[in-house]
């Protein structure tokens, strides 16, 4: 199945480079380009892409606010946003996850890894670049106490699975760890998404940390 991608970046050369890279594959096609966040929101409404490759710093509307608007659109419920960031933009990671971004990649990511990241997000998984993940965890560590999140409605098994999701395990790895089928694991993850009002696994990770279910090692 071919994933449809919208590229949002204020630099034409960057957009063109991403288009060429993504369209060298047989399962990805670029359906549009946006030069700013406002254009990205408008194009999502009309093109309904599977993935938006979203820059952060753009004129008129930045990538964070554009992501918030896109993820709030009922018509874009199936559209995933993959944020492009650089080391000096890591302060935006938490904010973008909260508004519904499905993952982050760094702009210096090798081409093959960028293509793989788009595929992962298109498949409904969450993806964070390792260096970004480490900084995100350090941000949680810097907070003395987690902000409580409502986990009362989830079962003991769902809580166990949420913990493993927060630790970065895939559905297959969780199934192996708990000695259950992958289908069963997917069902539990789907129920967690519904009960916690989370858009995807990235937001499940946020919920796990904010509830205090997971605390990173200091």
DSSP assignment string, 155-174: -HHHHHHHHHHHTT--HHHH
Q: How confident is the model at residue 107, as a pLDDT?
A: 81
- The half-sphere exposure of 30 on its side-chain side, counting CA atoms within 13 A, is 18
Q: How confident is the model at residue 97, as a pLDDT?
A: 77
Domain boundary, last residue among 106, 130, 154: 130
Are both 12 and 105 inside the same structural domain? yes
pTM above 0.75, yes or no: no
Domain hosting 171: range is 144-211
Are both 148 and 67 inside the same structural domain? no
Q: Which DSSP symbol is given to 2?
A: P
Q: How confident is the model at residue 91, as a pLDDT?
A: 63
Q: How confident is the model at residue 145, as a pLDDT?
A: 47
CB 138 within 8 A of CB 93: no
- The list of the chain residues with pLDDT below 70 reads 87-93, 126-150, 215-218
Q: How confident is the model at residue 216, as a pLDDT?
A: 59
CB 54 within 8 A of CB 81: yes
Which ranges in the chain belong to alpha helices (H)? 12-22, 37-47, 63-71, 93-98, 111-122, 130-141, 156-166, 171-178, 182-196, 201-210
Cα–Cα distance measured from residue 157 to residue 9, given in angstroms and rounded to the nearest whole number: 42
Radius of gyration of the chain (CA): 17
Tell me the per-residue pLDDT of 132-144, one tens digit each, with 9 for 90 and over: 555 555 555 455 4
Q: How confident is the model at residue 147, as a pLDDT?
A: 45
Q: How confident is the model at residue 209, as a pLDDT?
A: 77
Q: How confident is the model at residue 77, as a pLDDT?
A: 87
CB 113 within 8 A of CB 106: no
Q: How confident is the model at residue 126, as a pLDDT?
A: 66
Residue 136 lies in a domain: no
**How many domains is the chain built from?**
2
Are both 56 and 97 inside the same structural domain? yes
Q: How confident is the model at residue 123, as a pLDDT?
A: 82
Are both 151 and 64 inside the same structural domain? no
Q: How confident is the model at residue 206, as a pLDDT?
A: 78
Q: How confident is the model at residue 152, as a pLDDT?
A: 75
Are both 188 and 113 inside the same structural domain? no
């Amino acid at each position: 199945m071919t994933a449809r991608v919208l590229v949002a970046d204020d630099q034409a050369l960057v957009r063109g480079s991403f288009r060429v890279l993504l369209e060298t594959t047989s399962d990805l096609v670029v359906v549009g380009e946006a030069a700013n966040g406002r254009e990205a929101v408008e194009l999502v409404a009309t093109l309904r892409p599977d993935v938006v490759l979203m820059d952060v710093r753009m004129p008129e509307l930045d990538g964070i606010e554009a992501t918030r608007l896109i993820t709030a659109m009922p018509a874009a419920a199936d559209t995933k946003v993959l944020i492009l960031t650089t080391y000096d933009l890591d302060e935006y990671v938490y904010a973008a996850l909260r508004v519904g971004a499905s993952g982050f990649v760094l702009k210096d990511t090798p081409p093959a890894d960028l293509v793989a990241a788009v595929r992962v997000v298109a498949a409904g998984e969450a993806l964070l670049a390792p260096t970004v993940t480490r900084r995100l965890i350090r941000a949680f560590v810097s907070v003395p106490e987690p902000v409580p999140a409502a986990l009362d409605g989830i079962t003991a098994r769902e809580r166990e699975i949420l913990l493993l999701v927060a630790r970065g395990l895939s559905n297959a790895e969780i199934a192996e760890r708990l000695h259950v089928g992958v289908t069963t694991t997917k069902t539990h993850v789907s129920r967690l998404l519904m009960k916690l009002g989370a858009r995807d696994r990235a937001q499940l990770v946020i919920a796990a940390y904010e509830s205090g279910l997971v605390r990173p090692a200091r």
